[in-house]
Amino acid sequence: MKSYETDVVVVAAGLSGLAASISAAENGARVITVEKSNTTGGAANMGMGPLGVGSRIQRMQMVSLTPGEAFRKHMYFTHYRVDARIVRDYYFKSGETIDWLEEMGVEFVGVQRAFGAPEDTRAYSDGEFTWHVVRPEDGGIPGPRAATAMTKKMTERAKELGVEFMFETPAKKILMEDGKAAGVIAVDKDGEEVEIKANSVIIATGGFGENPEMIKEQTGYEFGKTIFNFAVPGMRGDGLKMCWEVGAGREQPTMELMYQLPDNMNHFILDGAFRQPCLWVNRNGQRFMPEDQIGNTTFTGNAISVQPGKVAYAIFDSKLLKKYKKRGPDLVSHVHPHDLFDHFDEQWNRDIADGYEPVTQADTLEELAEKAGIDVEGFMAQIEEYNDMCEAGFDEIFEKDRHYMQAIEKPPFYCCRQNVGAYGTLGGVRINNKMQVLNEDSKVIPSLYCVGTDACNIFGDSYPFILSGNTMGFCINSGRIAGENAAAELDDFEW
**Which of residues 62 and 265 has its CB atom nearest to another protein in the complex?**
265
d(CA 100, CA 150): 12
CB of 65 to another protein, least distance (A): 27
In this chain, which of 66, 121, 226, 264 binds another protein, going by CB under 8 A? 264
Taking contact as CB under 8 A, which single stretch among the options 262-270, 290-298, 429-437, 442-450 is the one that binds another protein? 262-270
Binder of another protein out of 21, 40, 419, 453 (CB under 8 A): 40
Among 247, 309, 337, 411, binds another protein (CB under 8 A): 337
Question: Are 153 and 105 contacting, i.e. CB atoms less than 8 angstroms apart?
Answer: yes
Which residues face 258 on adjacent strands? 421
Please report, for the chain, how many H helices and E strands are present, in that order: 14, 16
Per CB under 8 A, 219 contacts another protein: no
Taking the complex as a whole, the smallest distance from the CB of residue 71 to another protein amounts, in Å, to: 30
CB 176 within 8 A of CB 182: yes
Nearer to another protein, 233 or 393 (CB): 233
Answer whether 279's CB lies under 8 Å from 287's CB.
Answer: yes
- The single-letter code of the amino acid at 480 is R
Residue 403 as a binder of another protein (CB under 8 A): the answer is no
Residue 257 corresponds to which amino acid? L
Q: Binding of another protein at residue 1 (CB under 8 A)?
A: no
Count Cβ atoms within 10 A of the Cβ of residue 284 and give its class: 0-12 exposed, 13-18 middle, 19 or more buried: middle
Which residue lies nearer to another protein by CB, 79 or 326?
A: 326
Residues 76-115 vs another protein: string with x where CB under 8 A? ----------------------------------------
Q: Is 190 in the site for another protein (CB under 8 A)?
A: yes
Min dist CB 227 to another protein, Å, is: 13
> CB of residue 144 vs another protein: minimum separation in angstroms?
5
In 167-291 the beta strands, taken as DSSP E runs, fall at 171-177, 180-187, 193-203, 228-229, 254-260, 279-281
CA gap 328, 325 in Å, rounded: 5
Cβ atoms of 371 and 379 within 8 Å: the answer is no
Spatial CA neighbour of 123 closest among 332, 299, 304: 299
- Of the two residues 144 and 308, which places its CB atom closer to another protein in the complex? 144
Q: Can you tell me whether residue 207 is helix, strand or coil?
A: coil
Q: Kindly give, in sequence order, each residue whose CB lies less than 8 Å from that of residue 486, ignoring residues fewer than 6 positions away.
A: 7, 8, 20, 24, 29, 199, 200, 202, 447, 449
Indicate the length of the chain as a whole number. Answer: 495
Residue number with CB closer to another protein (33 or 78): 33
Site for another protein in 229-248 (CB under 8 A): 230-234, 236
Taking CB under 8 A as the criterion, the residue among 4, 92, 167, 288 binding another protein is 167
Q: Please state, as a whole number, how many other Cβ atoms lie within 10 Å of the Cβ of residue 420.
A: 25
Is 269 an interacting residue with respect to another protein (CB under 8 A)?
yes
189 binds another protein (CB under 8 A): yes
- Minimum CB distance to another protein smaller for 137 or for 377: 137
**Site stretch for another protein (CB under 8 A), options 53-61, 217-225, 350-358, 475-483:** 350-358
SS3 316: strand
Question: Least distance to another protein from the beta carbon of 25, Å?
Answer: 16
Question: In this structure, are residues 112 and 134 in contact, taking their beta carbons and an 8 Å threshold?
Answer: no
What sections of 220-275 are H helices per DSSP? 238-245, 268-273
Phi, psi values for residue 435, rounded to 5° = 70, 20
Nearer to another protein, 43 or 481 (CB): 43
363 is a site residue for another protein (CB under 8 A): no
Binders of another protein in range 133-152 (CB under 8 A): 136-138, 140-146, 148-149, 151-152
Contact residues toward another protein (CB under 8 A) are 36-43, 45-46, 136-138, 140-146, 148-149, 151-152, 155, 159, 165, 167, 187, 189-191, 230-234, 236, 263-269, 319, 322, 326-327, 335, 337, 339, 342-343, 347, 350, 354, 356, 410, 423
